[in-house]
C-alpha cells in the first residue's frame, strides 16, 4: 500500500531533522544533561525524531518559571476575558494547523489519520473553546449567617497555583488539552509532561501557544521519561496540583509522590468496563456500539468496553455481528487512508496485549476471532474476541488496553448476578447498557459502580464530568467539576 507522498515525505524529513527541545519560561532549551531519546513510529517501528530528555533539574526550572508567572507575572494581572480570548486563539491556531497536527498524531500514535483529524484535533479545539467560556464564569456564593451581629459572608474561587499535567500516549493532544484548558481558564500556570512515547503534538502545541501570545512561564513543557521527569514533577514542592491520566499502578506512585506537600490530585486511571446487552436491545445499534467500544483506537482507551454480557437470546447474533466487524476491519498504518484500526503503541505493549491473549487461551478461553500478532513492520495485533472465559482469568480481570473483548451470556433470571459481575472489578470508570426499556436502563445505571454509564451508545461531552469510581481514579474532568478542580475555595466573613 502506498503511503509516501511529497507532503508526507517533507513532514517526515522535517520531523527527523528538527531539534525537539524543552519549553521553559518562554524559551526552547536543551535538557541540562544534553541527553535525547528516540521517538518511534508504531506504524513501522522506525525512529521519527529525537527529543530532549528532561530530568529533575529541568523540571525544577520549569516549576520555578511557572511559579514566577503565577505569583508576579503578566498572567496574574490578565482579566478573565483576556484569558478567555487567549484560550480561544489557541483553539483557532490548532484548527488552522489541523492537517499538520493530525499527521503528527498519526505518526506518533499510529492511529488512522482521519481519526486523528476528526477526533483528536477537532476535539482539542472544541475543548479549548468550551473552557474559554468558563474563564469569565468562575463565581462564589454568598451566605445568610446566623449570628446576632450582622455579617456578610461569601466565597471566592481562586486558581490553585502551579499545575503539573501528566498525560498518556493514547490520545496525547486531546488529553493534554483536557487538562491544560481548564487549568488556564482557572488562572493557573502549568508544567506539561507528555508521555515519552508521544511527545510531538505537545511540543507543537507549545509553539502555537507562543505564537498566539501566552506570556512566558505560563505554559512549560518537559519531555522525558515517567520515572525521572514525571516523578520529579509529582514530587516537586513548588507544584500545587497534579492531574494525571494513565495506569492505576502509576497512579499509586503519583499519590505517594504527591504526599509531601499535600498536592491536590485528579487521577483518571484504568478501567475494565462492562457492556450489557439486554434481549430487547436494538441489535444493530448494540453490535455497532460493542465493536466501537472495544476496537476504537485499537482498544487503547481507558473506558474501553472489554467485558461483554449479552442475553442468551441475542448472544450469538451480537457476538457474531461484532466478530464479523472485527474480521472486516482494515488493519494497517495510520497513514494509509484505508486503515480503520492501526497498531498498538510499542513493541512492549504488543507483547503485553498478546501475552494476555495467550494467558487466556492457556486458562481455557476460546478465540472466536483474531488472537494473533500480525507479521509485518510495526506493532500490530488482530482484533480479538474471547469466549468461555471465567472471572478468575487475567483477561477478565486486568486492563489489557488493547482490542481484546471477553464475551459472556446470561439468562432471564441472571440480571442481579450480571450486575454483580459487572461490578466485580477493582475498576469503575465506565459501563455501557443496550436496551429499549427506559425504566430498565435507569435501574441498571443506578446499580452500576462506574463514573459514567452510557445507554445505547451515548457518548460524553465537554459539559459532562468524567472520571472513575474505585481504583479508576479521583476527581472529575470536563464540565464545571473539571474547571473547579483547578481552583481553591476561600471564605470571607465580614462583621458589619
Q: For the beta carbon of residue 400, count every other beta carbon within 10 angstroms.
A: 25
Q: 243 φ, ψ to 5°?
A: -120, 120
- Tell me the Ramachandran region of residue 224: left when phi exceeds 0, alpha when psi lies from -120 to 50, beta otherwise: left
Q: For the beta carbon of residue 145, count every other beta carbon within 10 angstroms.
A: 14
- Interatomic CA distance for residues 486 and 188, integer angstroms: 7
Q: Which of 53, 188, 196, 302 is catalytic?
A: 302
Q: Which of 105, 268, 421, 477 is catalytic?
A: 268
- Interatomic CA distance for residues 420 and 426, integer angstroms: 13
Which residues have a Cβ under 8 Å from the Cβ of 362 and sit 6 or more positions away? none
Q: Is 406 among the catalytic positions?
A: no
Q: For the beta carbon of residue 411, count every other beta carbon within 10 angstroms.
A: 11
Q: Which three cell numbers stand for residue 347?
A: 513493541
DSSP label of 488: E
Q: Which three cell numbers stand for residue 77?
A: 494581572
Q: Own/partner pairs for 358-365, CB < 8 Å, 24+ apart?
A: 359/393, 359/394, 359/395, 360/386, 360/389, 360/393, 360/394, 360/395, 360/406, 361/386, 363/390, 363/393, 363/394, 363/395, 364/388, 364/389, 364/390, 364/393, 365/389, 365/393, 365/395, 365/406
Nearest to 73 by CA among 238, 234, 212, 219: 219
Which residues have a Cβ under 8 Å from the Cβ of 236 and sit 6 or more positions away? 59, 60, 63, 164
Handedness of CA 335, 179, 166, 221 (dihedral sign): positive
Query: Could you tell me the CA-to-CA distances from 100 to 15, 47, 103, 104, 353 in Å, in that order?
Result: 11, 18, 5, 6, 30
Helical ranges in 263-340 per DSSP H? 283-295, 312-328
Catalytic residue numbers?
268, 302
Amino acid at each position: 500500500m502506498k503511503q509516501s507522498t511529497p507532503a508526507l515525505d517533507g513532514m517526515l524529513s522535517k520531523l527527523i531533522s528538527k531539534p525537539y527541545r524543552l519549553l521553559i519560561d518562554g524559551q526552547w532549551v536543551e535538557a541540562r544533561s544534553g541527553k535525547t531519546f528516540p521517538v518511534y513510529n508504531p506504524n513501522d517501528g522506525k525512529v521519527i525524531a529525537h527529543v530532549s530528555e528532561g530530568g529533575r533539574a529541568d523540571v525544577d526550572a520549569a516549576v520555578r518559571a511557572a511559579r514566577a508567572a503565577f505569583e508576579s507575572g503578566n498572567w496574574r494581572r490578565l482579566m478573565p476575558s483576556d484569558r478567555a480570548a487567549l484560550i480561544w486563539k489557541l483553539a483557532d491556531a490548532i484548527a488552522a494547523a489541523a492537517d499538520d497536527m493530525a499527521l503528527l498524531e498519526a505518526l506518533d500514535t499510529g492511529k488512522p489519520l482521519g481519526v486523528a483529524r476528526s477526533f483528536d484535533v477537532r476535539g482539542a479545539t472544541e475543548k479549548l473553546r468550551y473552557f474559554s467560556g468558563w474563564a469569565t464564569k468562575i463565581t462564589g456564593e454568598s451566605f445568610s449567617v446566623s449570628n446576632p451581629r450582622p455579617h456578610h459572608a461569601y466565597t471566592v474561587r481562586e486558581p490553585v497555583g502551579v499545575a503539573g499535567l501528566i498525560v498518556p500516549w493514547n490520545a496525547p493532544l486531546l488529553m493534554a488539552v483536557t487538562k491544560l484548558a481548564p487549568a488556564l481558564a482557572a488562572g493557573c500556570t502549568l508544567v506539561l509532561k507528555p508521555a515519552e512515547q508521544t511527545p510531538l503534538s505537545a511540543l507543537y502545541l507549545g509553539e502555537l501557544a507562543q505564537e498566539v501570545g501566552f506570556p512566558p512561564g505560563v505554559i512549560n513543557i518537559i519531555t522525558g521519561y515517567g520515572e525521572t521527569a514525571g516523578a520529579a514533577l509529582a514530587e516537586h514542592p513548588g507544584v500545587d496540583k497534579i492531574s494525571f491520566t494513565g495506569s492505576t499502578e502509576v497512579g499509586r506512585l503519583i499519590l505517594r509522590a504527591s504526599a509531601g506537600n499535600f498536592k491536590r490530585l485528579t487521577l483518571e486511571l484504568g478501567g475494565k468496563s462492562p457492556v450489557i446487552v439486554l434481549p430487547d436491545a436494538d441489535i444493530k445499534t448494540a453490535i455497532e456500539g460493542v465493536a466501537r467500544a472495544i476496537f476504537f483506537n485499537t482498544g487503547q482507551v481507558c473506558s474501553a468496553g472489554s467485558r461483554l454480557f449479552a442475553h442468551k437470546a441475542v448472544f450469538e447474533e451480537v457476538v457474531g455481528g461484532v466478530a464479523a466487524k472485527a474480521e472486516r476491519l482494515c488493519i494497517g498504518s495510520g497513514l494509509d487512508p484505508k486503515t480503520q484500526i492501526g497498531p498498538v503503541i510499542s513493541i512492549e505493549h504488543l507483547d503485553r496485549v498478546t501475552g494476555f491473549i495467550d494467558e487466556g487461551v492457556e486458562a481455557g478461553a476460546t478465540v472466536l476471532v483474531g488472537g494473533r500478532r500480525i507479521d509485518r513492520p510495526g506493532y500490530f495485533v488482530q482484533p480479538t474476541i474471547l469466549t468461555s472465559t471465567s472471572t478468575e482469568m487475567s483477561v477478565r480481570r486486568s486492563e489489557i488496553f488493547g482490542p481484546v473483548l471477553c464475551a459472556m451470556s446470561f439468562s432471564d433470571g441472571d440480571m442481579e448476578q450480571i450486575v454483580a459481575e459487572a461490578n466485580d472489578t477493582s475498576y469503575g470508570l465506565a459501563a455501557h447498557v443496550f436496551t429499549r426499556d427506559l425504566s430498565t436502563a435507569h435501574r441498571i445505571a443506578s446499580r452500576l459502580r462506574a463514573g459514567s454509564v452510557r445507554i445505547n451508545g451515548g457518548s460524553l461531552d465537554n459539559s459532562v464530568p468524567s472520571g472513575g469510581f474505585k481504583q479508576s481514579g479521583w476527581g472529575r474532568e470536563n464540565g464545571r467539576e473539571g474547571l473547579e478542580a483547578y481552583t481553591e475555595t476561600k471564605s470571607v466573613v465580614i462583621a458589619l
